[in-house]
């Protein structure tokens, strides 16, 4: 599958990342302003990319279910765009939190991320309100802040479009993607008390070299066991994870911002159900004993072409 324009969903991760979640004030003029902004978003990105060529700058805009209904009343809606509902497991819960607009901004320099964020605020500040903002960073050699390489299960470059971008199954929204976001806070005191060998059993991989544990070594509750999803033919279904670390060390806050891009949210949702409620064998994710989600929101990422005509 080849998009008309390269989707920002599969862009380079960048060394600095900014995630912004906003609500829209419930006024007719607010929705008109957001529609105007959406139609000009691609042009704004092109200007930024020309200014900061070679800095791996890219960004995308997502829209939540409730906001879509108000921005596009009476018009088609992506088939799987709904308000996320909490997943209550025996021990842990995947919470649901609000969000109308979402921005994923990435570059090799933090000041470039800030530049676009300031423009978004200038253009939308009067018609939106703050929900959440996370400044993320590439940690060491692409590791989560708990010390393990992140994104290991991502599809190969040649397969990313196939797993991340909608195709003929929803032609109105071809080349769009579903983005599910969760902000996790880690109990680093408890995590650090675990011997490295025990940490490896929680994740299912070696910490130093990222080699997967053998079936004999890996517990059934390992993160990379319970988070895998297969189709009816036994083929693994993948999503694109663009997770980043964030921290305020002086506040003892250490976290991972999880974001999963997928062609079908059903795949991501099944992963979450297995992690929190348990897989077919009843095993849930041991990593949740050390990682607590404090947000959970689903957004749809329209293709650049769709956004250009968002006022149609």
Q: Are strands 297-301 and 244-248 parallel, antiparallel or unpaired?
A: unpaired
Tell me the CB-side half-sphere exposure of residue 240, using CA atoms within 13 A.
24
Give me the mean pLDDT over the 153-170 stretch: 93
pLDDT band at 5 (very low <50, low <70, confident <90, very high): low
Query: What values do phi and psi take at 227, rounded to 5?
Result: -90, 0
User: Looking at the predicted structure, is the pLDDT value of residue 2 above 50?
Assistant: no
- Beta-carbon neighbour count of residue 277 at 10 Å? 18
Q: With beta carbons less than 8 A apart as the criterion, state whether 180 and 259 touch.
A: yes
Give me the mean pLDDT over the 121-131 stretch: 98
pLDDT for 226-268, tens place per residue? 999 999 899 999 999 999 999 999 999 999 999 999 999 999 9
Q: Choose, from 100, 132, 150, 285, the residue flagged as catalytic.
A: 150
Give me the mean pLDDT over the 112-125 stretch: 98
Task: Return the minimum-mean-pLDDT range out of 90-94, 148-152, 275-279.
Answer: 148-152
pLDDT for 170-201, tens place per residue? 999 999 999 999 999 999 999 999 999 999 99
Two tokens at 252? 């003892």
Alpha-carbon Rg for the chain, nearest whole angstrom, is 19
pLDDT band at 12 (very low <50, low <70, confident <90, very high): confident
Give me the mean pLDDT over the 203-216 stretch: 94
pLDDT for 78-89, tens place per residue? 999 999 999 999
Residue with tokens 């895998």: 228
CATH class of 8-308: alpha beta
SS3 for the chain is CCCCCCCHHHCCCCCEEEEEEEEECCCHHHHHHHHHHHHCHHHHHHHHHHHCCCCCCEEEEEECHHHHHHHCCCCCCCCCCCCCCCEECCCCEECCCCCCEEEEEEECCHHHHHHHHHHHHHHHCCCEEEEEEEEEECCCCCECCCCCECCCCCCCHHHHHHHHCCCCCCHHHCCCEEEEEEEEEECHHHHHHCCHHHHHHHHCECCCCCCECCCCCCCCCCHHHHCCEECCCCCEECCEECCEEEEEHHHCEEEEEEEEEECCHHHHHHHHHHHHHCCCCCCCCHHHHCEEECCCEEEEECCHHHHHCCCC
Query: What values do phi and psi take at 147, rounded to 5?
Result: 105, 0
Query: What values do phi and psi take at 73, rounded to 5?
Result: -60, 135
Give me the mean pLDDT over the 151-162 stretch: 89
Nearest to 86 by CA among 76, 98, 75, 74: 98
Residue 288: per-residue pLDDT: 98
Query: What values do phi and psi take at 255, rounded to 5?
Result: -150, 175
Over pLDDT 90: what percentage of the chain?
A: 92
- Domain boundaries, given as residue ranges, for the chain: 8-308
Give me the mean pLDDT over the 146-168 stretch: 92
pLDDT band at 158 (very low <50, low <70, confident <90, very high): confident
- Overall pTM > 0.85: yes
Sign of CA dihedral 8, 11, 14, 19: positive
Q: In the annotation, is 289 catalytic?
A: no
Mean model confidence pLDDT for the chain: 95
């Amino acid at each position: 599958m080849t998009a008309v324009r390269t989707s920002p969903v599969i862009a380079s991760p960048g060394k600095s990342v900014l995630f912004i979640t906003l609500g829209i004030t419930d006024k007719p003029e607010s929705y008109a302003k957001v529609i105007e902004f959406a139609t000009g978003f691609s042009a704004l990105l092109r200007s930024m990319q020309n200014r900061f060529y070679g800095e791996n700058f890219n960004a995308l805009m997502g829209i939540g279910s409730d906001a879509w209904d108000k921005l596009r009343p009476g018009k088609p809606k992506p088939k799987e765009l709904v308000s996320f509902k909490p997943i209550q497991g025996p021990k842990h819960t995947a919470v649901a939190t609000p969000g109308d607009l979402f921005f994923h901004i990435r570059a090799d320099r933090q000041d470039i991320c800030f530049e676009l964020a300031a423009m978004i605020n200038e253009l939308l500040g009067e018609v939106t309100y703050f929900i959440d903002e996370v400044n993320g960073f590439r940690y060491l050699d692409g590791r989560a802040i708990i010390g393990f390489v992140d994104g290991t299960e991502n599809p190969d470059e040649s397969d990313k479009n196939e797993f991340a971008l909608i195709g003929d199954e929803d032609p109105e929204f071809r080349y769009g993607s579903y983005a599910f976001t969760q902000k996790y806070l880690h109990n680093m005191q408890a995590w650090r008390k675990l011997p490295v060998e025990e940490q490896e059993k929680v994740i299912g991989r070696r910490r130093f070299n990222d080699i997967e544990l053998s079936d004999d070594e890996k517990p059934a509750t390992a993160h990379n066991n319970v988070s895998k999803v297969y189709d009816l033919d036994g083929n693994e279904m993948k999503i694109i994870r663009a997770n980043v670390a964030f921290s305020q060390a002086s506040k003892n806050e250490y976290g991972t911002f999880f974001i999963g891009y997928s062609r079908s949210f059903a795949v991501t949702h099944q992963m979450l159900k297995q992690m929190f409620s348990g897989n077919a064998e009843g095993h849930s994710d041991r990593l949740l004993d050390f990682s607590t989600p404090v947000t959970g929101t689903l957004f749809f990422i329209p293709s650049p072409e769709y956004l250009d005509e968002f006022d149609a």
